[in-house]
Amino acid sequence: MTALSAAESNEDIEQPLHAPTKILDYLYLGDKRQAYNEKLLQTIGITHIFACISTFFSQEDNKVIQIKCSPMDDRGNSNLPSHVAKAIKFVKKAQEWEAENKVPAKILVYCSLSVNRSPSLVLGILMELHKMTLKEAYKFVSSKHSKVCIHDKYMSQLREFDKQIFGEYSTKENELPTTSSVMAEVVAKLRQNQQDDSME
């Protein structure tokens, strides 16, 4: 597999590298740096990669790990259900590969930072394949992967996907944290700290 592009900053490369988050026995959630670390992938036993961003490598770069690229917009402008459908198809092919090769298939779903796009996709996979409601899936994933912060537009699509699968919403509007609600909390805390400092 191709090494990280020279365009990547030294700061990114030198930061401590942690393993991708294991969501299920076959499903891992990670970021770009993890996806490009061949030794790490071999240690975990990753056999398949589903990328939510454009990549610097292709299937031709690696004859062992099977790769699928389905770039998503980080600002929530992509059609999430269509990407979930592609991921589901990829998962099923990985399961067929597992049956044929007698080797456990392990799939890494990744984006740049594993905060928004790849968690959104993993939530969709759990909802579609494992019949978890959005509320159940979000609680399950966020308990394992603390960096989850879904864009408002993707959260809205996930809620509609939830209703489509189960016939009703499992969450109220604005019940789950999103990028805008988290940012609002940060701004509120900063303002409160400024007020506190001015009173001292």
Instruction: Reply yes or no on whether the pLDDT at 11 is more than 60.
Output: no
> What's the pLDDT score for residue 94?
97
Strand-strand pairing, 66-69 and 48-51: parallel
Q: What is the pLDDT of residues 98-149, one digit of tens each?
A: 999 999 999 999 999 999 999 999 999 999 999 999 999 999 999 999 999 9
Q: Per-residue pLDDT averaged across 11-22, rounded?
A: 70
> What's the pLDDT score for residue 133?
98
Q: What is the pLDDT of residues 58-105, one digit of tens each?
A: 545 555 789 999 999 999 999 999 999 999 999 999 999 999 999 999
> What's the pLDDT score for residue 64?
72
What is the chain's mean pLDDT, rounded?
A: 87
Cα(148)–Cα(119) distance, rounded to whole angstroms?
6
Cα(118)–Cα(120) distance, rounded to whole angstroms?
5
Give 133-196 as a DSSP string. -HHHHHHHHHHH-TT--B-HHHHHHHHHHHHHHHSS-SS-TT-S-BHHHHHHHHHHHHHHHHHH
Q: Per-residue pLDDT averaged across 145-165, rounded?
A: 97
Which residue ranges form the domains of the chain, and what is each CATH number? 10-199 (3.90.190.10)
Q: What is the pTM of this model?
A: 0.85
Cα(94)–Cα(92) distance, rounded to whole angstroms?
5
Question: What amino acid occupies position 191?
Answer: R
44's tokens: 């975990």
% of the chain with per-residue pLDDT over 90: 74
